[in-house]
Structure formats: structure tokens, C-alpha cells
Amino acid sequence: MADSKKKEDNKTPEIPGTAPPVPAHIAATLDPPHESKPEDSNDDPVVDEAVDDITKKDADEVLAAEDEQLAKAFDPVKKPTGFRAKLAGFFKAWWNNPKARYGTIAGVVALVVLVAAVPQSRYFVLNNVGVRSSASVVVIDQSTQQPLKNVEIQLSNQSGKTDSDGKVTLKYIKLGSTNLVITRRAFETVTKKVTVGWGSNPYGNFSLEPTGSQYDFVLTDFLSGKGVAKAEVSAGENNAVADDEGTAVLTVDPNEASPLEVTIKAEGYRDEVVSLNLDDKSAHSAKLVPSHKHSFVSKRSGKFDLYSIDVDGKNEKLILPGSGTEGNNITVVPHPADNVVALASSRDNNRNKEGFLLTNLNIVNTSTGDKTMVSTSENIQIIDWIGDRLIFVQIVAGASADNPNRMRLISYDFENNVQKELASSNYFNDVLSAGGVIYYAPSESTAGVMGFYKTNADGTNRVNLFGKTTYNIFRNTYDQLTLSVGNEWYDYKLGDKAANKLSGAPASQQNRIYQDDSGRKQSLWIDSRDGKGVLLRYDTASQEDAVLRTQSGLANPAYWLNDNYAVYRINTDQETADYVMNLAGGEPRKISDVTNTTGVGNWYYY
């Protein structure tokens, strides 16, 4: 008992609220316990109390904000008061009443339909929202059925005058019913009630009855004698347009003073001015001459002077006096459409360091005489005009120089005064223009460039068509070239991708020089037949030739003055002169005696 009591006394007393002691055999397997921080650590009770206060205060503020938001969520919605309350109530009642709702919608639709159906209301609404329309009118002379120009048209809030086709289009016109008023001096005024609707409103033709004095004009081409359609006769506000036969009837106000100065205009023709005696009621005639001037060189002064002249021999003008240093190798090539020419000569007396006289290339305006220097070189050969680009070849070094860039093929844009090199070589075996494309053959002495090439005038689409040295290019027909390649011969059709080998030499090795018109629809070329020159016209559509003129001494240069007029040269022991002819008919006419210069010709190299 005593032992038993002793054992109980040795037991560790249990402290209420604590875990029972861990048996020794289990405690040995556990990690040692962490040491607890002694009570006398560095913690500051004052700081701990301040932190607790801040935390408690922040928590209280957050809870207060949440309570406020929750309370707002359960607040009743404020109802509108006053006028807003009445308006809201009205719309609520209207919407909840199907009869009222559908009745209102039906009424609005009916109002829209009514406005659209009644023109006055429709146009009123459209005008007020800024809708405007347009209208067109054509006015003709009742006596001739030809269009009348400068007729005054008044429509609603807009006005205008008819053009040479008798037509006027007015824009920004208010819609609705209005008066169309047509007035013209010496003609009866027309007034018509019209409705300007939404759209273009083409009102068609209106005929005006002449009330003034009328005068007949017969307008013909000076070579063919055929009437010039659409030629315009005008005297101040008075004007008339010729019919297909070239007859125009000018109606003049009786109060006009006599004599009356009348101007005659036609596209492509020179303006003519005639004096009209108003007491003379007989038919008046005028012969119209092309406006494009012809240029030529004459040595009548002892120097090689450059002149311009109208093809009827009038208005001759010295545009570039000779300098006295020109040689006989002068080239004049007119532009196909504008009054300018390319002139290659030694007139500027430039020389190289060895004293050799150089060639100058100038562009000369045949109306004003202004000239632009393009290039100076030992030699310059003009190849062709292609549009507004002049194609030429120049030598930039001496003849014996071993220089791969000795010869340069140049395209010159005269409108923008810009040059572009198309190709270069020690020398070119051949160069020609055909169908608006340049073909050229560099010499075999220029490494890496031998072959037969084509390129556009602006330098695009440059292609080597044939990788062998080509010595000659012959143009046998308009669209066919023959190539000489050593002892071999090849045939090339314009536009093809490659040349075809021939079994032998062609029957003819004569090169034709074709000169296209501005639209490349027809081309001039000269042949020699039975000792006479023959001028032919090739039609690109039908691919057929037509003989225009056969005459002794007829030779190049030949070119198009315009699409109906051709100029060619006669060079015999009796005369050297330029002639003009109209393809529509009539006999050719001599323009002037000239010095025999060259134009676009066969290629030659130095």
C-alpha cells in the first residue's frame, strides 16, 4: 500500500485545460518542440494597442459603407412629379390603350402617305430638308434644225447657257412646279410650265423660231472642197453651227451695226475672220485651212533658216535664223500633233577639244520660235516621235574609243524636259521605230548585251528577243521585220515573243519607212516604181495599201499634218519643194520651196 501510494505521489500532476503528457516512447519519434518566445520579448504594448485601434476603425468604416449601399438598394424609386408626372402618365395610359395606340400609328402612316401623294406637300417637305434636283435642255434653230449656242435658260432658282451642242444642264434646282424660260437674241422667247421632280429631269429639245435677219455661210475644206461639219460661225452673242454639208445660217438681231465681224472656227482648222455687210443677203463662203503649221529649212538668205508656214502658203514666219555654221546634214522632224519640231544641226557652233563641230538637238516651237536645247554630241540621229517622247541616238565619245557606252539610245519627254537612257553600246548595228515600239541591235563588241531588243518609249518592257548578234533590221511590211544574223536570216512579226529562222535570204532587203498618224490607224510610206516616187497609205485595220500620189521626184520626208492631210517632198532638178494633199480629195498643193533636209530615215552608224 505504501509503495502504491508512493508511486501515485511521484506522478506529474495534471493541469486542467492542458494536453496529457506524451509517453516517452512516442515523444522520442517526434520533432523537438519550437521554443516559445519569452514574455520579456521586444513587443511594445503601446504600438500593439495603436495598431488594434486603426484596424478596428477601418473595419468599422468598411462596414458602414456596405450598410449604406445595402440601404440604398432597398430605397423606394422616386416617382416623377409635376409636368413630368403628367407626361409619363399620359404616355403610359396611351400605351396601355390598344385602340389609342394603333389609331395614332395609323394616323401617322396616313399623314406620310398623304404628303407623298400630294406633289405640293411632297416638294415642300423635300425642299425644306435641302433636297435639290437637276435638269437638262437642248435648244435648236427651228429654221435649220442645228443646235444653238449661248441660249439663256432660266429654271426655278438656276440659270445657264447652252454649249456648242445646244445643251445645258442645270443643278441644285428646287423641286416643284415652275417656269422654264428660254431666251436668245434674234429668236422668239419660249416659256413653258414644267415640274421639277426628284431626278435628272431631261426636258428634251426645244425649237426657237428666228425673228432676226439670216445670213448663209458655206464652209469648205480648202483642198477637198467638201463641207466642214460642225464649223461654228459667230459674231458676239450671235452664232450658228454648220450642218453636214458645211452650211451655217447666222441669225442676227436687226439692231446690229454693219459691217459685222464674223469669226469662223472648226476643230483642227485655222480661225478665219470675215467682214459681213448686213445689207448683203447673198451666200458667203469661206475655205478652211488646217491649223497645224508646216516647218521647213530654206537657204534663200544664204543661211539655213528655219521657217513655219500654214499649208495654204499664208502666215510664213522665220522662227530660227541660221547661224552660218550649219552643215548640210540637217534633220527636221515635226511632232505628230503639236506645233513643235525636233531640229538636229550644227547651228550652235559647239566644238569638242579637237575642234570637231558638234551636233545640237533642239526642240523648236513653230508658233512662238522658242527653242529648248536637248543635247550636244558628235553625232545625233533622230529615230522617231512616239507620243510626246522624242527617240534619238547620240555618240558620247570619239569614233575610235573602246567604250561600251559610246552610243546612247535616249528617250526625251519634251513636255517635262526629262531624258531617259533606254540602252547603250559601243555602237548599235541598227535602230528603228515600229508600231510605237523601239527595236535595236547592239554590236557584238559590247559584252553581255548582244541580241535583238525591243523596248517601250518610256523604257518599260525591255526584252531581248533574240540572243544572237543582229547586223541589220529590215522592215519589209508594216508588221514584219527581217533580221540579218551573219549568214542566217530570221523573220520577226511585231508583237511576237521570238523570231523564226528563214531558209534563205529574203527577195528584198529594202527597208520601208512608215510614218503613223497620231492614232496609229494609218501609216504613210514611199516606194519607187518605174522611176517615180509613189506615196502610199497603209490602213492598219484592213492591212491594205492605197496609192495616194505618183510623181517624179516624190521622196521622203513624208509625214501626217493631221489625220486627213499628208505632206511630202518633191526633189528634182527643177525644184525641191514640200507639197500637201487631203486624203478626202482635191489636188495636192505646193506649200513652199525648201532646202532638202532629212527627216526620219534609215539607220546609219559611224
**pLDDT of 267-293, one tens digit each?**
999 999 999 999 998 999 999 999 999
Q: Is the pLDDT of residue 22 over 70?
A: no
∠97-101-107 over CA atoms, to 5°? 145
SS3 573: coil
pLDDT in tens, 203-226: 889 999 999 999 999 999 999 999
CA distance 561 to 311: 9
Nearest-angstrom CA–CA distance, 410 and 47: 97
Cα separation, 516 vs 522, in Å, equals: 6
What's the pLDDT score for residue 69? Answer: 60
Position 522, amino acid? Q
- Which pLDDT does position 558 carry in this prediction? 96
pLDDT at 42: 46
Mean pLDDT of the region 397-425: 86
Q: Is the pLDDT of residue 113 over 90?
A: no
| SS3 category, 118 | coil
Region 310-338: mean pLDDT is: 93
CB atoms near residue 237 (< 10 Å): 14
Confidence of residue 27 (pLDDT cuts 50, 70, 90): very low
Summarize pLDDT for 448-466 with one digit per residue, the tens: 678 899 999 999 999 999 8
| Helix (H) and strand (E) counts in the chain | 6, 41
Lowest mean pLDDT across 36-50, 300-314, 365-379, 471-485 = 36-50
* CATH (residue range 133-208): 2.60.40.1120
Q: How far apart are CA 451 and CA 466, in angstroms?
A: 5
At 101 the three-state DSSP class reads helix
Average pLDDT of 223-242? 93
Q: Please state whether the peptide bond connecting residue 259 to the residue before it is cis, i.e. omega within 30 degrees of 0.
A: yes
What whole-number distance in Å separates Cα of residue 181 and Cα of residue 193?
9
Domain boundaries 213-288, corresponding CATH code: 2.60.40.4130
565-592 pLDDT per residue, tens: 999 999 999 999 999 999 999 999 999 9
Give the pLDDT of residue 236. Answer: 86
- The predicted pLDDT at position 508 comes to 80
Do residues 436 and 386 lie in contact, with contact meaning Cβ atoms separated by under 8 Å?
yes
User: Is omega for the bond preceding 147 within 30 degrees of 0, making it cis?
Assistant: no
- Strand 202-208 and strand 133-141: the pairing is parallel
The pLDDT assigned to 538 comes to 97
Residue 254, pLDDT > 90, answer no
**Banded pLDDT at 123 (limits 50, 70, 90):** confident
Most confident range, picked from 22-31, 53-62, 88-97, 596-605: 596-605
- Torsion on CA atoms 61, 67, 73, 76, rounded to nearest 10: -120
- Closest by Cα among 189, 164, 183, 187 to 240: 164
133-208 and 213-288 in the same fold: yes
What is the pLDDT confidence band of residue 44, given thresholds at 50, 70 and 90? low
Would you state the pLDDT for residue 35?
Answer: 43
* Beta carbons within 10 angstroms of residue 193's beta carbon: 8
- Average pLDDT, integer, range 489-502: 92
- What is the chain's mean pLDDT, rounded? 84
Give the start-end residues of each E strand in 72-111. none
Mean pLDDT of 84-112: 63
Predicted pLDDT at 536: 97
350 touches 376 (CB < 8 A): yes
- The Cβ-side half-sphere exposure at 341, using a 13 Å CA radius, reads 29
- CATH number for the region 299-501 comes to 2.130.10.10
**Residues of the chain by 3-state class (helix, strand, coil), percent to 5:** 15, 40, 45
Query: What is the bridge-based pairing of β-strands 176-183 and 331-334?
Result: unpaired
Burial (Cβ within 10 Å: 0-12, 13-18, ≥19) of residue 115: middle
For the record, the C-alpha cell of 18 comes out as 492542458
What pLDDT does 19 receive?
A: 45
Judge whether residue 66 has pLDDT over 90.
no
Which is more confident, 82 or 413? Answer: 413
Residue 406 pLDDT more than 90?
no
- Whether 231 and 241 have beta carbons less than 8 Å apart is answered as yes
Please give the pLDDT value at position 258. 87
CB count in 10 Å sphere of residue 242: 24
Tell me which amino acid residue 284 is: H
> What is residue 386's three-state secondary structure?
strand
What is the model's pLDDT at position 197?
84
| CATH ID of 515-593, from 3.30.70, 2.40.128, 1.10.760, 2.60.40 | 2.40.128
> CA 484 to CA 350: how far, in whole Å?
37
**pLDDT-based confidence at residue 50 (cuts at 50, 70, 90):** low
Q: Name the nearest CA neighbour of 256 among 210, 217, 212, 215.
A: 212
Question: Residue 602 — pLDDT band, cuts 50, 70, 90?
Answer: confident
Gap between the Cα atoms of 379 and 396, Å rounded? 8
Question: What's the pLDDT score for residue 2?
Answer: 42
Q: How many CA atoms lie less than 13 Å away from 421 in the CB half-sphere?
A: 10
pLDDT over 90 (residue 242): yes
The DSSP 8-state label assigned to residue 479 in this structure reads: T
Q: What is the pLDDT of residue 93?
A: 72
**Percent of the chain with pLDDT strictly greater than 90:** 59
Give the pLDDT score at 46: 53
pLDDT at 119 over 80: no
What global pTM score does this model have? Answer: 0.76
For residue 219, the tally of other CB atoms under 10 A from its CB is: 27
At residue 601 the predicted structure's pLDDT band, cuts being 50, 70 and 90, is: confident
Cα gap 299→323, rounded to integer Å = 11
- What is the C-alpha to C-alpha distance for residues 491 and 501, in angstroms, rounded to an integer? 6
Kindly tell me if the per-residue pLDDT of 36 is higher than 60.
Answer: no
pLDDT band of 13, cuts 50, 70, 90: very low
Partners of 394 in the β-ladder: 380, 408
The per-residue pLDDT for 7 is 40
Q: Say which residue, 71 or 493, is predicted with more confidence.
A: 493
- Grid cell locating 24: 516517452
- Beta bridge partners, 305, equal 298
Alpha-carbon distance values, 287 to 246, 315, 411, 519 (Å): 10, 16, 39, 26
Predicted local distance difference test score (pLDDT) of residue 344: 95
Tell me the CA distances in angstroms from 146 to 137, 253, 285, one per residue in order: 14, 18, 19
Domain boundaries, the chain: 83-117, 133-208, 213-288, 299-501, 515-593
Residue 415 confidence (pLDDT) above 80: yes
- State residue 190's pLDDT score: 94
